[in-house]
Chain A
Amino acid sequence: MMPYLGAIAALAVLVLLLYNSLVAKRNAVENAFATIDVYLKKRYDLIPGLVAVVKGYAQHESATLAKVAELRTRALAGGLTSEVRVGLDNELSAGLTRLLATAEAYPELKANEHFGQLQRALCEIEEQLAAARRAFNAGVTEYNTAIEVFPTNLLAGPLGFLRRTWLATPPAEQGPVNVGGLLGQ
Chain B
Amino acid sequence: MPVPAFAPRFGSKPAGGARDFDGFCRTALGPQLAELERRRRVVLVFIVLAGGCALASAAFFALAPSGPLHGIHRLLPLTLLGTVVLGVVGWWKQSGYRRDFKQEIMPEIVRFVSPGVVYSADDGVRQSTFVAGAIFPRGIDRYSAEDRVAGQIGKTPFEFSEVHAEYKTESSNDEGKRSTEWHTIFRGLYFVADFNKDFRTHTVVLPDRLERFGFLNRTLQKMNTSRGQLVSLEDPEFERAFVVYGDDQVEARYILTPALMQRMLALRSKVKGPVFFAFSGSAVHVAIRSRQDHFEPTIWRSIRNPQRLAECCADLRLLIGMVEDLDLNTRIWTKV
Tell whether B304 is near chain A: CB-to-CB under 8 Å: no
- Interface size on B (CB < 8 Å)? 14
A134 at the binding interface (Cβ < 8 Å)? yes
Residues of chain A with a CB closer than 8 A to B232's CB: 138, 141-142
Of all chain B residues, the one with the shortest Cβ separation from A141 is: B232
Q: Is A124's CB under 8 angstroms from B333's CB?
A: yes
A135 touches B333 (CB 8 A): no
A117 to chain B: which residues have CB within 8 Å?
334
Q: Which of A121, A138, A141 contacts B249 (CB 8 A)?
A: A138
Q: Is the interface of A mostly helix, strand, loop or mixed?
A: helix
Stretch with Cβ within 8 A of B (4 or more), from A52-60, A125-133, A173-181: A125-133
The contact of B254 among A32, A128, A138, A141, by CB within 8 Å, is A128
Q: Give the A-B pair count, Cβ closer than 8 A.
A: 44
Asked if residues A135 and B249 are in contact (CB atoms below 8 Å), the reply is yes
Report how far A141 CA is from B234 CA in the complex, Å. 11
Bound CA span A123–B250, Å:
16
Chain A 68-121 residues near chain B, CB threshold 8 A:
117, 119-121
B251 adjacent to chain A (CB < 8 Å): yes
Which residues of A are found within 8 Å of B250, using beta-carbon distances?
32, 35, 128, 131-132, 135
- Bound together, the chains give a CA A32 to CA B248 distance in angstroms of 11
Given contacts A134-B234, A138-B232, A142-B232, contact A127 B249 (CB under 8 A): no
Q: Whole-angstrom distance between the alpha carbons of A120 and B332 in the complex?
A: 6
List residues of chain B with CB within 8 A of the CB of A32: 249-250
Q: Contact between A131 and B251 (Cβ–Cβ < 8 Å)?
A: yes
- Cβ-defined contact, A127 with B257, below 8 A: yes
Tell me if B253 and A135 are in contact (CB < 8 A).
yes
Q: How far is the CA of A67 from the CA of B233 in the complex (A)?
A: 35
Please measure, in the bound complex, the distance between the C-alpha atom of A120 and the C-alpha atom of B254, giving whole angstroms: 15
**Please, which residues of chain B bring their CB within 8 A of the CB of A35?**
250
A171 to B249, CA, bound (A): 27
Tell me, rounded to whole Å, the shortest Cβ–Cβ distance linking B329 to chain A: 15
Query: What are the residues of chain A within 8 A of B234 when measuring CB–CB?
Result: 134, 138
Q: Which B residues are in CB contact (< 8 Å) with A139?
A: 249
Residue-wise, chain A 44-66 has the 8 Å CB interface mask toward B (1 for contact) of: 00000000000000000000000
Query: Which of A127, A132, A142 makes the CB contact (< 8 A) with B333?
Result: A127
Q: Give B253's nearest chain A residue, CB to CB.
A: A131
A120 to B330, CA, bound (A): 12
On whether the beta carbons of B254 and A131 are closer than 8 Å, the reply is: yes
Write the nearest CB–CB distance from A120 to chain B, whole angstroms: 5
> A156 interface residue, CB < 8 Å from B?
no
Q: For residue B336, which residue of chain A has the nearest CB?
A: A120
Q: How far is the CA of A62 from the CA of B181 in the complex (A)?
A: 74
Are A121 and B334 within 8 A (Cβ)? yes
> In the complex the two chains form, what is the Cα distance from A139 to B233 in whole Å?
11
Would you call A127 and B254 a contact (CB within 8 A)?
yes
Q: Is A120 touching B333 in the complex (CB atoms < 8 A)? A: yes
List, in ascending order, chain B residues with CB within 8 A of A28's CB.
249
Taken together as a complex, chains A and B put the C-alpha atoms of A177 and B254 apart, in Å, by 22
Inter-chain contacts of B334 with A (CB < 8 A)? 117, 120-121, 124
Chain A residues within 8 Å of B257, by CB:
127, 130-131
A125-181 contacts to B (CB < 8 Å):
127-128, 130-132, 134-135, 138-139, 141-142
CA–CA, A139 to B253, complex, Å? 12
Contact A123 B332, CB 8 Å, known A128-B254, A134-B234, A142-B232: yes
Contacts of B254 in A (CB 8 A): 127-128, 131
Closest to A132 in B: B250
A residues at B contact (CB < 8 Å): 28, 32, 35, 117, 119-121, 123-124, 127-128, 130-132, 134-135, 138-139, 141-142
Given contacts A121-B334, A135-B250, A138-B249, 6 further A-B contacts (CB under 8 A): A32-B250, A120-B333, A127-B197, A127-B254, A131-B250, A142-B232
Could you list some 10 contacts between A and B, CB below 8 A? A119-B332, A127-B197, A128-B254, A130-B253, A131-B253, A132-B253, A138-B231, A138-B232, A138-B253, A139-B249
